[in-house]
Amino acid sequence: MIILGYNGFSQVADLFARLYGHAPDGVDRHNLIGHDAAAALIIDGELVAAVEEERLNRNKKTSAFPRNAIRWCLEQAGLDYDDVDHFAFGWNHDNAYADTTVTAVAQAPLTAEEKLTVLTTFGELYLGALGRTALIEDFTRHTGYALPDHKLVTVPHHRAHLACGRTFAGLTDAAFLINDGQAERDSAIMGEIRNGKVEVFDRFTIDFGNSLAQLFGEITRYLGFVPNNDEYKVMGLAGFGTPPAPEDNPLLGNVVTLEDDGRYALALAHDRRGPRAYAELLDKLFDGHDGNRETFEFRVRLATAAQQLVEVVTAHQLRALAAATDLRDLIFEGGLALNCVNNTKLLEDLPFERIEVSFGASDPGVSIGAAAHVAQSHAAPLAHTSPYLGPEYDTEQIRTALTAHASAVTWEELPLDQIVERTAELLSGKTVIGWFQGRTEYGPRALGNRSILANPSYPDMKDIINHRVKHREPFRPFAPLVLEEDAPTVFDLGKKHRSPYMTFVFPVRPAYREQIAAATHVDATSRVQTLTDESNPLLARLLRAFTARTGVRCLINTSFNVAGEPIVCAPDDAVECFLGTDIDHLVIGTFLVTKR
């Protein structure tokens, strides 16, 4: 069976701009349904290809219909549209959803005029993008393929997240928590998978009006960042502060109230102003005003409180789940699962013995998950653990890209062994390397095939990369890449044995804090990526060669891009990013590239 999963609506950006004021170049540009558009292909239970549309159209977090991603997946497998048995879409705005929404508006305490205004707006969005007819028209308009109605399977958003997590967790029976900004009606669900059957524990479900992730997004906006994009900056800022006692946190009680059975409620749930309603309340609780909101101290104080809020509320949820199931393995997916500081604390402080968070935990994962959900309904797909699912480029394609930039770069082609040794030699010094190899990784983290690498033993390397290369805030930390066999020596992994996707944070052992100073955050932790010879053979060889030369067991690994741009995908992207930054050398395939 051939299943193609996808996510993305061509009309959503325009509709949200017109109906809700989310300008494509404004602070709300990523607050759209269908962001992180992508496509994924499963053939006979095996995930063979997946790529995010942003890597191909070069529009970060795009919500556009993923025409390029779909075409690439099919070409990669030598297929045409007619060969596909099911096209699985990672949202399910069905008739029941529309009926429920209309009924809710009709029964709301609003004037008739207000109800009609809301319904008119909803009608435009539903008929223009969300409804089944709109989906089929969108598909046909962008692909030229008249999608038969019976081939389209709309998968509930949270079920798509869950199916993605199941695919990569390597677990059969497990509890689960899915928590993100908003699915069709809800923001969080919990339950268990037992003997292949999924059961959602309805009493734990949180509706979208009480979305913890949307609240965190509003705090992100309030701090001057872009919501649904920069939440990790808030998490990073929190490391500079000391959390208060929970009872002294202004957000706990005043903004979020914990309820029985793992539930919680937001103070301004379903306020017609949406998440922006919290700005005035945040001003009041934190004495925010024009004179202090921009200061580092104010930002840290609020970020610390917000991070603690996420930790307390999520732990509250999972304590209730742990009491409701005897399963001690947990799958955690959804945008909130990218809060890797929280993930580690949940594992260490709760009864669960294992927590798995995939590299597609946020919305890129719903394209994989939609296809996996359909596959699982027929026969469970094979467990797949590699994130390297996207395009790969051969020597001639790389040479063509270099030749096109010959006036700006010079290069030498070397055997692979020499490429590894020369790169390790360069990394021994205070050198920044653009590393481009193999298939493009999937998800928001660069996992070693489209990465910027550097030596973490130089304390100022963090500032060099933030300022000269990434063009981003100086407080932003970097992740260390470490061999799985060396990870327990350098880091206190607690219950974890591996962290291949940068979804957990661990304390750096005191003996190594100076050695990897540039990859150690201010709170003496690191967001770790563990590596094996099987998971990425070439990168493992490079790390071993670097360690043999320097005695340093880690490399800095950050995404090969600059702030605001998607991670590079094609050779042209890599060369242009290399030339637009102070990266010292580009290692692309078997070519070592230097600027003229």
- Residue in 85, 83, 88, 91 with CA at minimum distance from that of residue 5: 88
Is residue 384's pLDDT more than 80? Answer: no
Compute the Cα dihedral for 289, 290, 296, 300 and give only its sign: positive
Beta-ladder partners of 594? 410, 585
Amino acid making up residue 4? L
pLDDT band at 170 (very low <50, low <70, confident <90, very high): confident
Is 409 found in the same domain as 292? no
* Within a domain: 379: no
* Within a domain: 164: no
**CA–CA dist 73, 4 (Å, integer):** 8
CATH number at residue 9: 3.30.420
Return the structure tokens found at 388.
Answer: 């390297």
Amino acid making up residue 117? T
Q: Which residues contact 431 (CB under 8 A, 6 or more apart)?
A: 454, 455, 584, 585
- Residue in 367, 362, 407, 415 with CA at minimum distance from that of residue 390: 367
Is 311 found in the same domain as 186? yes
Is 175 found in the same domain as 120? no
* Within a domain: 162: no
Catalytic residue among 22, 35, 161, 405: 35
pLDDT band at 380 (very low <50, low <70, confident <90, very high): low
* Within a domain: 373: no
Is 281 found in the same domain as 208? yes
pLDDT band at 419 (very low <50, low <70, confident <90, very high): very high
How much is the pTM? Answer: 0.96
Is 204 found in the same domain as 327? yes
Task: Among 107-121, 252-266, 376-390, name the one with the lowest average pLDDT.
Answer: 376-390
The residue written with tokens 């890797």 in the block is: 340
Task: Among 22-31, 397-406, 510-519, name the one with the lowest average pLDDT.
Answer: 22-31
Is 96 found in the same domain as 56? yes
- Residue in 150, 161, 215 with CA at minimum distance from that of residue 184: 161
String of DSSP letters for 397-465: HHHHHHHHTTTTEEEEE--HHHHHHHHHHHHTSS--EEEE-SSPB-SSS--SSEEEEE-TTSTTHHHHI
Is 279 found in the same domain as 339? yes
pLDDT in tens, 477-491: 999 999 999 999 999
Return the structure tokens found at 436.
Answer: 């481009």
- Among candidate residues 328, 357, 386, the one where a domain is terminated: 357
Backbone angles phi and psi of 24, in degrees to 5: -65, -20
Report the pLDDT averaged over residues 360-367: 97
* Within a domain: 377: no
- Residue in 441, 437, 404, 405 with CA at minimum distance from that of residue 423: 437
- Taking phi over 0 as left and psi of -120 to 50 as alpha, with beta for the rest, 494 belongs to left
The residue written with tokens 């590239």 in the block is: 593
CATH number at residue 271: 3.30.420.40
Is 148 found in the same domain as 185? no
pLDDT (0 to 100) of residue 425 = 98
Report the pLDDT averaged over residues 388-405: 98
* Within a domain: 511: yes
Is 553 found in the same domain as 449? yes
**CA–CA dist 515, 480 (Å, integer):** 12
Q: Specify whether 316 is catalytic.
A: no
* Within a domain: 366: no
- Among candidate residues 154, 184, 200, the one where a domain is terminated: 154
Is 121 found in the same domain as 27? yes
pLDDT in tens, 296-348: 999 999 999 999 999 999 999 999 999 999 999 999 999 999 999 999 999 99
Beta-ladder partners of 412? 592
* Within a domain: 362: no
- How many domains are there within the chain? 3
**CA–CA dist 124, 88 (Å, integer):** 24
Find the domain containing 130 and state its range. Answer: 2-154
Is 197 found in the same domain as 53? no
pLDDT (0 to 100) of residue 17 = 92
The residue written with tokens 């590079």 in the block is: 568
pLDDT (0 to 100) of residue 381 = 64
Is 185 found in the same domain as 47? no
Stated as kind and residue range, the H or E segment containing 577 is helix 571-579
pLDDT in tens, 428-471: 999 999 999 999 999 999 999 999 999 999 999 999 999 989 98
Residues in the chain: 596
Strands 529-531 and 479-483 come out as: parallel
End-to-end CA distance of the chain, in Å? Answer: 51
pLDDT band at 291 (very low <50, low <70, confident <90, very high): confident
